Structure 1
Amino acid sequence: MRALVINCTLKRSPGTSNTEALAAVVEEELRARGVKVESIRAVDLDIPPGVETDLGPGDPWPGIHRTLLESEILVIASPTWAAHPSSVAQRVIERMDAMMSETDDTGRPVAFNRVAGVVVTGNEDGAHHVISEITGALNDFGYTIPGQAWTYWNQGPGPGPSYLDAEKGREWSASTGRAMASNLVAVATALAEHPMPAPPS
């Protein structure tokens, strides 16, 4: 089983990413459950805007798209900015929109029988809103969202220290992240054994 984690921080490598730090908890638990995990920092790839899978020469998205189709599990990790997902997360979602019209050789949407979850960090309130926006989009594309397929950390209400700068709430976020990984693997395994059929025409 494979998982792809897309870190949608605004910070280019090698900048320290609080979102990456919490996502790493989920990645560690996935690996402990036998999942091969690949992680990318989307901002490093200069993904152009658009709603197509391939925008031509220089577009890095087709490679990400291939990895999405090779992975049973997807985790989108995003910081909270003004109570919304990052602009990088929105860019990723917009590029994934093309998957709504792509089908496999059985007529199923290509995201069917894949599961997804969300990791959120932010030194302000709004994590639940970010989770709702991202999971809503992924569900539209065909991903199955297991119960409690998310973890978050925030310091809200009001601005405060970042995830790596404060201990408060970190163990809860880590425990919830481990539970998230367990739920993602359980549902991905169930779908592999009993896949959803193509929708009726």
Structure 2
Amino acid sequence: MMLSQTQDRICRECDLDFSNLSAVLVNASLKPAGEPSHTDTLLDVVDAIFCSQKVEVERIRLSKYRLAPGVYPDMREHGWAYDEWPDISDRVLGADIIVLGTPIWLGDMSSLARAFIEKLYAHSSQTNDKGQYVFYGKVGGCVVTGNEDGLKHVAAGTLYAMSHIGLTVPPQADCGWIGEAGPGPSYGDEKEDGSGRVGFDNLFTQRNTTFMSFNLLHLASMLKGQGGIPAVGNVRSEWDAGEKPGWPNPEHRKDG
């Protein structure tokens, strides 16, 4: 993927070290895994920026896997004959940065994007070694593509879900391309006049993609450098054990 001149300059002039970070870029396109995807094309830009900063990047195409409906880590334990989420869950949970890419259909994220969010939620009862929810200390962002309205709506739902399960969302954590409303070219299609690829010269898309990518890197680096989010006031076991921070323990109250 070729970066724009401005993107390339910013990447080359960056003197920060992000080489200890890992990222997973998840594509929720509904197309079969072997077919080209416009969402993949914009994720390629994020990939190129991350790779320029020596970040370890892994790509996952969700349509390659059969994900059983449900919000448990392995739905085969809950009545389904199949669930390939366990084949990829460790790769997702092991990353410092999680980016979900989705096309827009009927003004909303794809069904596979929703399934991915549900699979993240399946791990909401799990904790890290500090007793916090397992996604604490990781950051999330989203990439949205299409040729109809819905970019901000999809981003809002995606980023809220990520935050709710414990991912940290930096400023300007989304980017996208929707072109003109209605049927038309999608990101990366050839222009009719042969002058290049649609969206590649769009300042809004390229700027926001760059902002999102670097903000994800900055926040992930800050969190990793300080060992994640401090485990004060956000540890599940304190509440499960009845030890409400700042509350008197009923077991130790005196009568009267």
Taking structure 2 as the reference length, what is the TM-score of the superposition?
0.75
C-alpha deviation, 1:127, in angstroms: 0.5
8 Å CA contact 2:27–2:102 kept in 1: the answer is yes
**Structure 1: which 5+ residue stretches go unaligned?**
none
* Residues 1:197 and 2:233 are matched in the alignment: no
* Residues 1:122 and 2:155 are matched in the alignment: no
- Cα-to-partner distance string for 1:53-84 (whole Å, 9 max, x where unaligned): 11237422123221122100000000011110
RMSD of aligned C-alpha atoms? 1.5
Q: Which structure has the larger Rg over C-alpha atoms?
A: 2
Q: How many residue pairs end up in the alignment?
A: 201
8 Å CA contact 1:111–1:142 kept in 2: the answer is yes
Q: How does 1:1-201 map to 2 (within 5 A)?
A: 1-56=21-76, 58-165=82-189, 166=191, 167=197, 169-171=199-201, 172=203, 173-194=205-226, 195-198=228-231, 199-200=234-235, 201=238
C-alpha deviation, 1:159, in angstroms: 2.6
C-alpha deviation, 1:162, in angstroms: 1.2
8 Å CA contact 1:153–1:170 kept in 2: the answer is no
**Which sits farther off after the overlay, 170-179 or 118-127?**
170-179
Q: Distance in 2 between matches of 1:131 and 1:35?
A: 24
**Structure 2: which 5+ residue stretches go unaligned?**
1-20, 192-196, 239-256
If asked which structure has higher relative contact order (CA below 8 Å, sep 6+), I would say: 1
- Cα-to-partner distance string for 1:64-123 (whole Å, 9 max, x where unaligned): 221122100000000011110000101111111122211123211100000011000001
- Cα-to-partner distance string for 1:114-142 (whole Å, 9 max, x where unaligned): 00110000011111111011111111110
More strand by proportion, 1 or 2? 1
More helix by proportion, 1 or 2? 1
8 Å CA contact 1:100–1:109 kept in 2: the answer is yes
Taking structure 1 as the reference length, what is the TM-score of the superposition?
0.94
Paired residue secondary structure (2:59): strand
Q: Distance in 2 between matches of 1:58 and 1:98?
A: 16
8 Å CA contact 1:22–1:174 kept in 2: the answer is no
8 Å CA contact 2:135–2:167 kept in 1: the answer is yes
8 Å CA contact 1:108–1:197 kept in 2: the answer is no
Identity %: 36
8 Å CA contact 1:5–1:37 kept in 2: the answer is yes
